[in-house]
Each structure stands twice: as C-alpha cells, then as structure tokens.
Amino acid sequence: MSGITAIDILIEHASSRKRYVEDVWTYLEKIKHTCRSLDPDCRVIVFGSLVKG
C-alpha cells in the first residue's frame, strides 16, 4: 500500500501545531506588530491556557 494515510496527516498536523505552540510568543509578537501597523490603537488579547498569572 502506498500513498498518504490518515495517520500520516495526523502526524504532520501534530508536528506543525507543536512548532507553533513551542514558539507561541514569537508568533503573538508578529501578530501584534502586524495589527499595530494597521491600527496603532489596537489591542491583542491572549486568553486561555497560554495566560500565566
């Protein structure tokens, strides 16, 4: 059997998600910078399991 299986897709998705989760604050800074370039008064609000304190 050849080709891509559902498991292959799940593994690739998990790997991609892990990359973002491990470096989440870098991506959030990029999002904030992009939003602020469009609207200097904007706010980026982070909530959920990423928030500490």
pLDDT, tens only, 1-53: 578 999 999 999 999 999 888 888 899 999 999 999 999 999 988 888 777 75
Summarize pLDDT for 22-33 with one digit per residue, the tens. 888 899 999 999
pTM of structure? 0.60
What does the pLDDT read at residue 44? 87
What does the pLDDT read at residue 26? 93
Q: How far apart are CA 48 and CA 35, in angstroms?
A: 20
Q: Which DSSP string corresponds to 3-48?
A: S--HHHHHHHHHHHHHHHHHTHHHHHHHHHHHHHHH-TT------S
What does the pLDDT read at residue 53? 58
User: What is the number of structural domains in the chain?
Assistant: 1
Q: Can you give the residue range of the structural domain that contains 17?
A: 1-53
Q: Residue 36 contacts by C-beta under 8 Å, 6 or more apart in sequence? A: 42
